[in-house]
Amino acid sequence: MTLVEHLTELRRRLIISAIALAIGAGIAFLLYNPILSFLSGPYHAISHGHNKLIVTDPLEAFATRLKIAAWAGLFFASPVVLWQFWRFITPGLHPKEKRYAIPFIVASVVLFMMGAAVALLTLRPALQFLQAVGGHSLDTYYRAGPYLSLVMLMIVAFGVAFEFPILLVFLELAGVVPSQKLRKWRRPAIVIIVTVAAVITPSQDPYSLFAMAIPMYIFYEGSILIGRLLKK
């Protein structure tokens, strides 16, 4: 394909992805109430259902709905977006690369979903810890905007962190980091993983830190084994 043909193909894939995002955002806009109820579940749990998220600005309620529609729309449209990405890069891949591409994409989606699930499960004890640190003299009333931003950042942070084994296996297959070196780097890897987890967890609480660091180290060990098996 010529450069112009590549650009034309890229434009077509981007247009399809944009349409999918718009449809996904529209669906999420209509499903706003159940999505908001689901995301605010951890807060309702620690307040025993007595408190609701509050808004302190006339435009904040509408902005909150748009924010949820955008994030949830991206989630709904992600299969179409990933498929368009796959169709765009497929012609340039060798047969061996195509063989690995689909497992990598599927594994990336599954791992991100696992990270998102762990983030939501960790959110409740994280909020309880943050509330306890403030002391019993404070009544907890969360604004919708900052709370939902924290939830989204937690989902993204855990989702990206759970992509760690994909990166390691790719580096092993590319010959950049052999599995022998990964085995030798176990001790510094533990320190680096804990440090990274402490930095990228938005809530900065110990529950989130260990909920991220422990799976990442398990993934580290699993990546060594998978890399050795794929190299055979």
pLDDT in tens, 172-209: 776 777 777 888 888 888 999 999 998 888 888 889 99
SS3 203: coil
- Tell me the whole-structure pTM to 2 decimals: 0.83
Rounded Cα gap, residues 152 and 165, in angstroms = 22
Can you give the pLDDT at residue 91? 72
Using an 8 Å Cβ cutoff, are 27 and 77 in contact? no
Can you give the pLDDT at residue 65? 93
Rounded Cα gap, residues 15 and 25, in angstroms = 15
Rounded Cα gap, residues 32 and 71, in angstroms = 11
Domain extent for 224:
3-231
**DSSP-assigned letters across all residues of 91-141:** GGS-HHHHHHHHHHHHHHHHHHHHHHHHHHHHHHHHHHHHHHHH-TTS---
Can you give the pLDDT at residue 34? 93
| pLDDT of residue 138 exceeding 70 | yes
Q: What share of the chain is helix, strand, coil (3-state, %, to 5)?
A: 80, 0, 15
What percent of the chain stands above pLDDT 90?
32
User: Among all chains, which residue has been given the structure tokens 């699993």?
Assistant: 222
Mean pLDDT for 91-101 is 68
Work out how many domains the chain is built from and give that number: 1
What percent of the chain stands above pLDDT 70?
92
Mean pLDDT for 57-81 is 90
pLDDT in tens, 35-67: 999 998 888 888 776 678 888 888 889 999 999
| pLDDT of residue 121 exceeding 80 | yes
- Which has the closest alpha carbon to 40: 158, 157, 142, 128? 142
